[in-house]
Amino acid sequence: MNRGNRKTDLKLVGIITAFFLFFSIPAIVLADAFTAKTIGDYGNVTVMEVTGNYDAKNPDGTLNSEPRQAIAKEFFRTHKDEYDFVVIFSNFDFQMPDATSKAIYSNYRFNH
């Protein structure tokens, strides 16, 4: 292999690596981002579609408050600020803070 082909090969490897990193790292970083999207209101019930980790705690043991904050923000994006409490029910399994927990209470204040 001559030197000209070697430089071309290294450039090609660099381009392929950059392409891979450009498209794979954002997907890995955003994979855990929690999102909440309002589907509709049915009487006094708001139905949302959520994606992401809803577990009560993060893998490091800290409180995973992002999902509940995202749901509350989405709720108040589409409703007047005239509620004292927002109660969330899910139709999916998630990890509670401990084995005996039946619910999670989170106290948040939003300044609009």
Residue pLDDT, tens place only, 27-83: 444 446 899 999 999 998 999 999 999 999 999 999 999 999 999 999 999 999 888
| Nearest-5° Cα angle at 83, 80 to 89 | 105
Residue ranges in 31-84 assigned as alpha helix (H): 66-78
Residue pLDDT, tens place only, 70-100: 999 999 999 998 888 888 988 888 888 888 8
pTM (predicted TM-score): 0.66
